[in-house]
Amino acid sequence: MLQAYWYITKMRLITSLTYRFEVFASVGTNLILMLASVFLWKAAYGNGTEQVQALTLQDLTTYTILSIMLASVFVCDVQDTIYSKIREGQIVTDFYRPIPLLACYLADDIGGMLSSMVNKVIPLFIFAALFFGVPWPASPLSFLLFIPSCLLSYAILWLLSALIGLIAFWVMELGNMGMVKDSIVRVLSGSIVPLWFFPESIQTISKFLPFQYTYQTPLGIYIGNIGVREGLMAMGIQLIWVVLLYVLLAAGWRRSKSKTLIQGG
Amino acid sequence: MVNTIRHYFSVAACFARLAVQRQLEYPLFLFSWLLMIPIQYFSGIWMLKIIVDRFQPLNGWDFPELAFLYGLGLLSHGILVVLFINTWHIDNMVIQGAFDRLLLRPMNVFFQLIASYVNFIGLIDLIPGLIIFIYGCQLVGFEWTLGNIIKLLLVLLGGVLIRASLFISLGTIAFWTKRNASMVGFTLSMLERGTMYPLSIYPYVLQVIFTFIIPIGFISFYPAAEFLGKGSESFQLPLNFALATPAVGLVCFMLSQWIFRRGMKSYESAGS
């Protein structure tokens, strides 16, 4: 059973590693985003400012670098996969497979994630280390917490993405709804500017939304701004979101399967 | 001559009508852009406001000035997206053989390339651009004199030409490599970060590159500094930047046309 998934993951890993040129350009794009954000923080700290809300420039540099690396690891193509499979009618052959379809798509995305780790994160890390020094975690313990927190983040992001993908079953023409979701996530997850700097009211609202638990939680743990106890609690909330979204997806998936309409022939 | 121009106009109008019809075919697509583009750019300026509020002005640029700069950069981006978006897809046209079709018609190839897709969905990019720019103008107390308006229009023209030249040159690469989609994405993010934040926050080397080699500093940073009466701390170019931008734009555009023609000479069809 697991072998089947591993095969899908492996195939994706191999195909992603073939397109070298795309990889160079993607690393370049992420490098620009990284440089621009770090220099923005440098200008914001300017001359003399030591700490703002207990965060130093070094903290934010590390936060930014890690945030961009996470963004390239967290491959959530599932929304586009479902959409294009429905548009082109391939979803029907996928339904023939003797294993759950969503799990196949997850295996595919995990393959994408593994290849990103090899050919995107490593070069980005090297460049970041050359330009701004190695972005060390606050302590070994925070690194140990960071890893499981990242896995939970990915679970939240992937489930959100799959939920958006489900809409395609109902409307056929999804347009760029995935990109709409992505741009909301980018802001409210604290991936660009940590939510700690946002106005109070928005911080309060965001505690009840899943977004801040995708980027800010693991990154805050990594730079030590979220302590061990708070970190464990935040991970608990992450877990609650994962369960909640999973239940929602399972219910939605059962309904949409019966709605499947095959176009083309 | 008059007849030729009239002919070109009628062809462009026909292309535009087709493009509009094609884009209206998928309303949800339109709707999703209508949601996404404003979210993206308003949140971008909002992030800058949060940073400036919590910290300090960025290298002497306070929020009103940043809004002015951001809006100016976004306006020229919006115009580019409406008029020149086909330059992003040259590689696709080459691979699918659509480019051959342009070569067969008795018209200027570059004209056909541009005119065949007027991306009116790109007007959506102009909405946040206009709102942020006018808001910035209000905040900095921009004077709407005739002289300033003419300068502004010249800057926008120059900015669009600089952006277009970059994408035309990049698109030409596709004649040789058949693939450049990711280069387009790369250039887009470079343009965004280079034109919407003050150039002076970047290290000296990058400033030199963005002034003399890839002159994107002229799209918004230098003109904004000029309009707002800010001496740019790094370079004291003895120029009136509002006039420099269209000049730089024209030079770049001519250069890109030369590159485009060179590229066409070595074009080999990919179709079969």
pLDDT band at B270 (very low <50, low <70, confident <90, very high): low
Task: Judge whether B228 and B66 are in contact, CB under 8 Å.
Answer: no
| Chain centroid to CA B96 | 26
Smallest Cβ–Cβ distance between B40 and the set A49, A175, A183 belongs to A183
DSSP result, B127-164:
HHHHHHHHHHHHHHT----HHHHHHHHHHHHHHHHHHH
Contact assignment for A25 to B47 by CB distance below 8 Å: no
Residues of chain A with C-beta less than 8 angstroms from the C-beta of B36: 176, 179-180, 183
What is the distance between the alpha carbons of residues A78 and A164, in angstroms, rounded to a whole number? 9
Mean pLDDT across A146-175: 88
A17 near B CB under 8 A: no
Report the candidate in B172, B165, B163, B19 with the shortest Cα–Cα distance to residue B91: B172
Residue with tokens 């900015």: B159
Q: Cα separations (Å) of A52 from A44, A55, B19, B53, B220?
A: 10, 5, 51, 11, 30
What is the distance between the alpha carbons of residues B213 and B210, in angstroms, rounded to a whole number? 6
Contact assignment for A43 to B58 by CB distance below 8 Å: yes
What is the distance between the alpha carbons of residues A196 and A243, in angstroms, rounded to a whole number? 26
Number of C-beta neighbours around residue B256 at 10 A? 23
Smallest Cβ–Cβ distance between A36 and the set B54, B185, B197 belongs to B197
- The structural domain count of chain B equals 1
Q: To the nearest whole number, what is the mean pLDDT of chain B?
A: 86
Residues of chain A with C-beta less than 8 angstroms from the C-beta of B31: 175
Contact assignment for A21 to B190 by CB distance below 8 Å: no
Q: Which amino acid is at B271?
A: G
pLDDT digits (tens, 9 = 90+) for A30-57: 898 899 999 999 888 887 777 777 888 8
What is the distance between the alpha carbons of residues B180 and A21, in angstroms, rounded to a whole number? 9
Lowest-confidence pick of A16-25, B4-13, B43-52, B92-101: A16-25
A265 pLDDT higher than 50: no
More confident residue, A92 or A159: A159
Indicate the SS3 state at residue A262: coil
Mean pLDDT across A231-248: 95
Q: What are phi and psi of A54, to 5 degrees?
A: 65, 15
What is the distance between the alpha carbons of residues B145 and B150, in angstroms, rounded to a whole number? 9
What is the distance between the alpha carbons of residues B97 and B92, in angstroms, rounded to a whole number? 8
Contact assignment for B32 to A175 by CB distance below 8 Å: yes
Mutation site, B58, B187, B210, interface A, largest A CB count within 10 A: B58
Contact assignment for A52 to B55 by CB distance below 8 Å: yes
pLDDT band at B236 (very low <50, low <70, confident <90, very high): low
pLDDT digits (tens, 9 = 90+) for A167-201: 887 776 767 788 888 889 989 998 889 999 999 99
Residues 16-35 of B with CB under 8 A from A: 26, 28-33, 35
Residues of chain B with C-beta less than 8 angstroms from the C-beta of A22: 182
Residues of chain B with C-beta less than 8 angstroms from the C-beta of A42: 201
Which residues, 6 or more positions from B20, have their beta carbon under 8 angstroms from its beta carbon? B118, B120
The Cα of B23 is separated from the nearest Cα of chain A by a number of Å equal to: 12
Per-domain boundaries in chain A: 2-263
What is the distance between the alpha carbons of residues A191 and B234, in angstroms, rounded to a whole number? 31
Q: Cα separations (Å) of A36 from A29, A183, B202, B203, B211?
A: 11, 18, 8, 10, 17
Contact assignment for B39 to A32 by CB distance below 8 Å: no
Task: Judge whether A156 and A214 are in contact, CB under 8 Å.
Answer: yes
B60 pLDDT higher than 90: no
B202 near A CB under 8 A: yes
Smallest Cβ–Cβ distance between A174 and the set B28, B56, B197 belongs to B28
Mean pLDDT across B222-248: 73
Residue A160, CB-side half-sphere exposure with 13 Å CA sphere: 24
Indicate the SS3 state at residue A116: helix
The Cα of A251 is separated from the nearest Cα of chain B by a number of Å equal to: 25
Q: How many residues can be counted in chain B?
A: 272
Domain holding B109, by residue range, is 2-270
Task: Judge whether A30 and A128 are in contact, CB under 8 Å.
Answer: no
B117 pLDDT higher than 60: yes
Indicate the SS3 state at residue A112: helix
pLDDT of residue B111: 86
What is the distance between the alpha carbons of residues A137 and A223, in angstroms, rounded to a whole number? 6
Smallest Cβ–Cβ distance between B54 and the set A29, A52, A171 belongs to A52
- pTM, entire model: 0.87
